[in-house]
Amino acid sequence: MAARTLKQSELDFFHDEGYLRLNLVHSKSHLKPLRESILRELSRLKVWAGGKPLGRSLSDLSPFQQISKLSSMVKIAGLDETLNTAEIRGAIADLTGRAPQSDQGSQPLLSLPHQGPWSLRNLAWHVDVAAKPDGEIPGIQAFYLIDDVGPQGGATLALARSHRVAGELAGRLRGSLKMPGDLDAALSVSNTEIIEMSGRAGDVFLMDMRVLHTPSINSADRIRMMATTRFSLRASR
């Protein structure tokens, strides 16, 4: 992404919706070494090679457990340096008026293909930082697409505008996310919307860390290759 100041419309969108999508921040050629490193690691770990799983050690885990397991197993050289660029940090500073700091670097978010039928049931909706809707943004989480991720291909889901929902309504919304049968009504009442972070390799989503989000099921026929960085925010500039 060429260095630039975010437009006022982008700032307004982020503060209203709780997320912002930046298209093609990184080129496919820039990300190619990461994709190749991920495939080499999966083969070395006897998880995936030649377009096939190499065992059942991960296939029986839930999507959330599988992502956690792969993230701890797969080590990708240059991941943070490739993804966590000055342009990303500049965009976060534009959004918040504060300088971002990545304490833990970037971590892979990987899931294998064909995890099962795509569904909103039994997902792990959560926030990484508990904070008041009317307070300062506690942090920004970046989600990077290392490879193309299609609809229902395991992308992270976020609940747009959920950072503005508080009190009893927030409790009812969380309950409805666990029982999707009445989810549409709950989304309408709370003025929230499920966003799937799918797209093209190089796209980046920036998310207010008060927003509810979850891993999703990868029902597609390709590995979901994403990564994430959590940015804490320093004192106002």
Task: Give the domain CATH number at 73.
Answer: 2.60.120.620
124 falls within a domain? yes
Per the document, the length of the chain is 237
90 falls within a domain? yes
192 falls within a domain? yes
List pLDDT tens digits, range 139-151.
999 999 999 999 9
pTM over 0.85: yes
* Domain count along the chain: 1
Three-state secondary-structure class, residue 59: coil
1 falls within a domain? no
Give the phi and the psi of residue 232 in degrees, each rounded to 5: -80, 165
3 falls within a domain? no
Tell me the C-alpha distance between 223 and 57, whole Å: 16
Residuewise pLDDT in 10s, the chain (237 residues): 456 689 999 999 999 999 999 999 999 999 999 999 999 999 999 999 988 888 777 777 887 888 899 988 999 999 999 999 999 999 999 999 999 998 789 999 999 999 889 998 888 899 988 778 888 899 999 999 999 999 999 999 999 999 999 888 888 888 888 776 678 888 898 999 999 999 999 999 999 999 999 999 999 999 999 999 999 987 554
Domain limits at 169? 8-236
Instruction: For residue 135, give the H/E element and its range.
Output: none
232 falls within a domain? yes
60 falls within a domain? yes
- Of 126, 151, 85, nearest to 214 (Cα)? 126
Q: Which long-range contacts (CB under 8 A, 24 or more apart) does 26-29 make?
A: 26/1, 26/82, 26/83, 26/85, 26/144, 26/201, 26/202, 26/204, 27/202, 28/201, 28/202
